[in-house]
Structure 1
Amino acid sequence: MVRRAGAMAVLAASLVVLCGCSPSSTRPTPTSEATPDAVPTATAIDPVRLAVDERLEAMTLEQKIRSMLMLHYPGTDPAPVREFADHVQPGGLILMGDNIGSSEEEVRAFTSALSSDEIFPLLLGIDEEGGDVTRLPWDELPAGSTLADSAPELTTEAFTARSELLESAGLSVNFGIVADVTADPSSFIYYRVLGHDPASAADRVTRAVQAESGHVYSTLKHFPGHGGAPGDSHSSIPVAGASLDEWRATDAVPFAAGIAAGAPLVMTAHVAYPAVDSAPASLSAAWHNILRDELEFTGVTITDDMLMLQRNGLAEFADPVENAIRAIAAGNDMLVYVLPADPGDVDIDLDALVSSVAAAIDSGRISEDAIDASVDRLLCLRFALGG
């Protein structure tokens, strides 16, 4: 995949205006009254809107659902990974440590061979925070454990350099900006946050988003905030005791700052704030409404790894199909699954999952208009990558 940072920066900056709404809502509305002496003017054709509308209209319902998945397939040989992607037709792939070769050149060769669609290439995501959460062995740049207590300018320098590493390796989405905030050293997320109070975290999150702009798509995580929710969401549903007003004054601040700085993606977390909703935020329409309406986020919402829900041992989340339906019904645009080579090993049947989501749409449990809006947002990101 050929990447042009300058073109991507310009086009990505316009995506919120062009594609941050439901499909075709930017088309001009014809008027019924004619002005006799008026000189007709040509309506400008927006190539982004035109390309996305045409692709969306050509997709079947099943293809739309598949495009809302970001999946993992292990290995550094691109051939089986591409075969998997061509068969399943996800909208993206997430690379883990088992996909990373020994050099930047190897990773770039790997990523450049994964997309068969040059106009709407796959979103290629990676968790590259630095420090404890590093997939690229040559990324020795400072992470939250250092940046939170350092001069803010170091955050700009670190994320500029890190995003350049990712771009050079052919990655397009970084799940690397931790917008959580906590001052508690015993917190699971403490050594990954960029600030230990809302204001300092917000400043560094803003800098990180600005630094990554034009190189990779930034993702803010873990919305609505893991800092006030004790426990590890990889194996439980951490519960935060904050009220909504307390959240607005604390955990919300870095997310609001990152959104204002232009972050195109927000990752929803498997954490619960009972004052808002007893369900984890990843499955909560209430939290998605707050994200869209209060924080005015118009970009792509994406879940944390959906397999984490199955690992917490709670019967409510034992069914991966039900989890997927709930996640999409709540308002997520994209679902992440860090799968093994055989998804059946984690009780996932991708074809059955897609069929079940389609059935939920047919029954009215999920709005088809919402599906179209989600796919529209995703296609806008992918089109920008196609150059």
Structure 2
Amino acid sequence: MKKFKKTIKLTLSALLALCILFLMSACANGDSQPEQFQATEPTTVQPTTMSEEEINDQKLDRFISNMKLEEKVGQMFFVRCPDEDAVQQVSEYNIGGYILFGRDFDGKTKDEVINCIQSYQDEADIPLLIGVDEEGGTVVRVSSNPNLREAPFLSPRDTYSSGGWDAIKQDAEEKADLLLSLGINVNLAPVCDMTSDEYGFMYDRSFSSDVDMENRFVRTVVETSKSKKLGTVLKHFPGYGNNSDTHTGIAYDDRDYSEFENTDFKPFYQGIESGADCILVSHNIVNCMD
């Protein structure tokens, strides 16, 4: 749609320029002005006011057009931070970003983490995405280190139980403040999966098995994070359900497609509408889709 609008604007501008050239040529040749122009005062055409988003889009288009092919390819990769030569590989492969895990924070002070992340950014010609899984509960890469937070973040379920929706919003704010203070600009959260099996792999990480509750949770986390300028990632599309752990084996999901439409897809729709930046796809083999 934006390209279509730009095409229309360029076409109208070209037509206006041709009209002006035609009139100037007519006057230069001694021809009288067309009747509709004789009694009117000269008018000034005001430039079209562009929105900030349109201006940024143009800047981005120009920036990308000047990138080398190697840079464009490298920017497509958001990779796990390697044990060795992490700084060197930033410029060597022109990567889009690093995802940090527990080992990257273990035993480090806040200043050590900040300096380490900054060393990656200093090496990058294009600013890096620095991501982490800080869901709360069983997945806390950062707050599991007592040097970085006094106690790990609670799971979404426990957070809600302790203080309702106010606690969920405050939790998202505290996570954003902590991560951004370290130089982390993307949180691989919120978890959009719903499961009814309390013994299931995803149960401790999911917020609710109720669609309306899950939607509100996703919206709250995404909007709060966005207001802080922390990137968010919806996971694990298309919805994990009650399936087994795909980190240790293969999970086959035999549910009907209609179940995804009526339940699992909805928190992802909500997250997209709320302004989430990315979607992470699960390892599950979903037979009705795959």
Structure 2 length normalisation: TM-score? 0.77
- SS in structure 2 of the partner of residue 178 of structure 1: coil
The residue that corresponds to 1:379 in the other structure is none
Structure 2 match to 1:113: 119
Alignment map for 1:1-387 (pairs within 5 Å): 27=6, 29=8, 30-31=10-11, 33-34=15-16, 39-44=44-49, 46-75=54-83, 80-100=85-105, 102-116=108-122, 120-136=126-142, 137=145, 138=149, 140-147=152-159, 149=161, 151-213=164-226, 214-228=228-242, 230-275=243-288, 277-278=289-290
Paired AA for residue 232 in structure 1: D
Give the unaligned 5+ runs of structure 1.
Answer: 1-20, 279-387
Task: Please give the alpha-carbon distance, in whole angstroms, between the structure 2 residues aligned to 1:264 and 1:26.
Answer: 25
Indicate how the Cα distance of structure 1 residues 59 and 155 shifts in structure 2: closer, same or farther if over 3 A, else same. Answer: same
AA aligned to 2:200 is: S
Instruction: Give the direction of change, closer, same or farther, for the CA distance of 1:93–1:120 in structure 2 (3 Å limit).
Output: same
Residue 116 of structure 1, CA deviation: 3.8
SS of residue in 1 equivalent to 2:259 = helix
For residues 172-204 of structure 1, what are the alpha-carbon distances to aligned partners after superposition, in whole Å with 9 as ceiling and x for unaligned? 010021010112112110000111221111111
C-alpha contact 2:87 2:123 (8 A) present in aligned 1: no
Name the SS of the counterpart of 1:225 in structure 2. Answer: coil
Separation of aligned partners in 2, 1:127 and 1:25: 39
SS across alignment from 1:86: helix
**Cα distance, 1:119–1:59 mapped onto 2, change above 3 Å:** closer
Q: Is contact 2:233–2:278 with CA below 8 Å preserved after alignment?
A: yes
Report if the CA contact (8 A) 2:98-2:130 is conserved: yes
The residue type equivalent to 2:96 in the other structure is: G
How many residues are treated as equivalent by the alignment?
252
Does the C-alpha gap of structure 1 residues 216 and 122 become closer, same or farther in structure 2, counting only changes over 3 Å?
Answer: same
The verdict on how the C-alpha distance between 1:141 and 1:73 changes in structure 2, with shifts beyond 3 A counting, is: closer
Preserved CA contact (<8 Å) 1:67 1:90? yes
Gaps of 5+ in 2: 21-36, 38-42
Max Rg structure:
2
Partners of 1:209 and 1:218 within 8 A in 2: yes
Contact conserved, 1:181 with 1:193, CA < 8 A, in 2? Answer: yes
Give the aligned residue type for 1:221. K
Give the letter aligned to residue 188 of structure 1. Answer: F
8 A contact 1:177–1:205 mirrored in 2: yes
Which AA in structure 1 matches 2:121? Answer: S
Shift of 1:241: 2.6
Residue 152 of structure 2 aligns with an amino acid whose one-letter code is: E
**1:254–1:159: structure 2 CA closer, same or farther, 3 Å change rule?**
same
Q: Against the structure 1 CA distance between its residues 253 and 149, is the aligned structure 2 distance closer, same or farther, given a 3 Å change threshold? A: farther
Measured in 1, the distance between the counterparts of 2:138 and 2:232 equals 19
RMSD of aligned Cα (Å) = 2.6
Q: Which amino acid aligns with 2:268?
A: F
Contact 1:148–1:193 (CA under 8 A) maintained in structure 2: no
* 1:88 positional shift: 1.1
- Report the secondary structure of 2:279's partner residue: strand
Distance in 1, Cα, partners of 2:80 & 2:213: 34
Q: CA deviation at 1:129?
A: 0.8
Local SS of the residue matching 2:135 = coil
